Structure 1
Amino acid sequence: MIDRLNQFLGEKLAWLYLVAVVVTAYEVVMRYLFNAPTTWAFELTILLCAICYLLAGGFVTQQKAHIAITSAADMLPRRLRETLALVSHLIGIVAMVGLVWAAWKPAVQAVRIMERTGSAWNPPSPAIIKPLVAVSALLVLLQLVAHLVRDIRKLRD
């Protein structure tokens, strides 16, 4: 189930990058052709890209597409390689548990007070991004647990 959720989020949220490009193009046209810059385009672009970046973690983990230097590992026996993958998953799980734990309190606080940026446009970006840090870490955590379970089963066979 976590595989499908991360796959869905990765495929659908990528479209927000296109929206960010359109918003940026709109800002450029308004600023340089009409001398009428917006107060919102820059912050909206950052927010859209931040949402994509944060929620891509689960998708990249699901696809096993994180950057990895495998030249040394490829020379190891299969069983040792698979054991190292388990260790890697466990380290990632510990890191993500720590991130979820650390991000939770600031996320709740940001939503509770509907934290805003303080800019001229003043969107509630912190109230959106801070909870997404915790949610994205949770998605990566669940995906790592799914990989760990699968790899343990594979190692037993």
Structure 2
Amino acid sequence: MIARRLETVLLGLAALLLLALMAVTGIDVVGRYLLNAPLSGAFELTELMLGALVFVALPLVSRAGGHVEVDLLVGALPRPVQKALGVFAAAVSAVVLCWFAWTLFGMMIDQSHEGARSVSLGVPLAPFAALGALACLASALFGLLRELSHD
């Protein structure tokens, strides 16, 4: 139940980020080429929103099982071995994603203490690192749950 609510929130946030990216790009293009007045900070806004979008989408891809998999020989193995390999791969992925989350959490603390901000617009960077850390944790959890509940 909580996973479904989190999925709904992430889908909504991803949609909002996509709409915002389209709006920033549209306003910048119209301003640049028709009015000779580009949107100030458009490149930086695009960078920040695209990074956020990637992190928001990561748990959704894990929940849907949409990551790239190479399973050339797995189909030839007995079903219990296939299941064990799937659980092993999900566990390795979860460990790596938790390490990413730990690293991003440390980065968030550093950026928060240093008051790190983007160059042009002065947007605080710590919340983006926090978003990345939480997204990696959610992705690890979704991937494990998907594999453990998969028949």
Q: Give the TM-score category using the shorter length.
A: 0.7 to 0.9
CA separation of 1:9 and 1:71: change in aligned 2, threshold 3 A:
farther
Aligned residues: 150
Distance 2:88 2:23 in 1: 43
Aligned to 2:54: 53
Distance 1:72 1:129 in 2: 39
Aligned to 2:109: 108
- 1:65-117 superposed Cα distances (whole Å, 9 cap, x missing partner): 10112332222221111110011011112112211222211112223444201
Q: Note if 1:94 corresponds to 2:115.
A: no
Gaps of 5+ in 1: none
Q: For 1:70, what is the secondary structure of its paired residue?
A: coil
- 1:8-60 superposed Cα distances (whole Å, 9 cap, x missing partner): 14421231112201210110110111111122222112222211101211110
Aligned to 2:144: 145
Distance 1:9 1:88 in 2: 27
Q: Note if 1:83 corresponds to 2:84.
A: yes
Check whether the contact 1:104–1:134 (CA below 8 A) recurs between aligned residues: yes
CA separation of 1:98 and 1:10: change in aligned 2, threshold 3 A:
same
Distance 1:3 1:73 in 2: 29
Aligned to 2:27: 26
Check whether the contact 2:62–2:142 (CA below 8 A) recurs between aligned residues: yes
Aligned to 2:129: 130
CA separation of 1:46 and 1:19: change in aligned 2, threshold 3 A:
same
Check whether the contact 2:55–2:131 (CA below 8 A) recurs between aligned residues: yes
TM-score under structure 2 length normalisation:
0.86
Distance 2:72 2:63 in 1: 22
Distance 1:144 1:2 in 2: 15
Check whether the contact 2:62–2:139 (CA below 8 A) recurs between aligned residues: yes
Gaps of 5+ in 2: none
Q: Note if 1:14 corresponds to 2:24.
A: no
Distance 1:4 1:111 in 2: 31
Letter of the structure 2 residue corresponding to residue 14 of structure 1? A
In the TM superposition, structure 1's runs of 4+ consecutive aligned residues that sit over 3 Å from their partners are none
Check whether the contact 2:90–2:147 (CA below 8 A) recurs between aligned residues: yes
Distance 2:2 2:57 in 1: 13
